[in-house]
């Protein structure tokens, strides 16, 4: 049973890293599941504090991932219409375009949202670019957290390696 948990845990960590760039898979939460599975083996001493702290980080990053593009619009001079457009664009593009919508949707949504405020195309580009930067920043943050969870997984595994085999 431990071998199954170890293998699944490792796979979840890898899928979490991939999920950092695919909106269908919640990267950090999936990678966290890998750490949880390793801690559920009979060999590893279950560390509730570590599990709860890493869960909090994973969920927080997941929430921030949706807020960062909106903040990007705001920081580069966007209006409330641009922020709403970013959110609507993200949702609509995900439904229509799938994973590629995570990049295109917020940008187009912010652009169209800003243009509804009678801004020119050129004036609307700056806040739309902010949403794009926000999406990229969110992906980088998710990747780094998921990668750190993989390192935690290896660190825990390495500490108990002799007990597993």
Domain definitions of the chain by residue range: 2-164
Alpha carbon 136 to chain centroid, angstroms: 10
Output DSSP code: residue 46: P
Q: Which residues contact 141 (CB under 8 A, 6 or more apart)?
A: 61, 64, 65, 68
Structure confidence at residue 146 as a pLDDT band (50, 70, 90)? very high
- Contact (Cβ atoms closer than 8 angstroms) between residue 143 and residue 20: yes
Read off the tokens for 90: 């993200």
Output DSSP code: residue 120: -
131 pLDDT higher than 90: no
Coil, helix or strand for 20?
A: coil
Output DSSP code: residue 100: G
Looking at every residue in the chain, the average pLDDT score rounds to 90
- Contact (Cβ atoms closer than 8 angstroms) between residue 18 and residue 25: yes
Strands (E), the chain: none
78 pLDDT higher than 80: yes
114 pLDDT higher than 80: yes
């Amino acid at each position: 049973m431990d071998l199954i948990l170890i293998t699944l845990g490792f796979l979840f960590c890898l899928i979490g890293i991939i999920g950092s760039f695919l909106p269908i898979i919640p990267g950090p939460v999936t990678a966290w599941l890998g750490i949880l599975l390793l801690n559920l083996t009979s060999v590893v001493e279950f560390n509730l504090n570590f599990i709860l702290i890493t869960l909090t980080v994973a969920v927080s990053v997941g929430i921030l991932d949706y807020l960062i593009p909106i903040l990007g619009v705001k920081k580069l001079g966007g209006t409330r219409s641009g922020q709403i457009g970013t959110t609507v664009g993200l949702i609509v593009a995900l439904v229509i375009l799938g994973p590629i919508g995570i990049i295109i949707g917020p940008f187009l949504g912010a652009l169209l949202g800003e243009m509804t405020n009678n801004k020119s195309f050129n004036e609307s580009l700056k806040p739309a670019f902010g949403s794009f930067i926000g999406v990229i920043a969110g992906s980088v943050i998710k990747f780094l957290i998921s990668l750190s969870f993989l390192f935690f997984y290896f660190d825990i595994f390495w500490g108990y390696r002799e007990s597993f085999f």
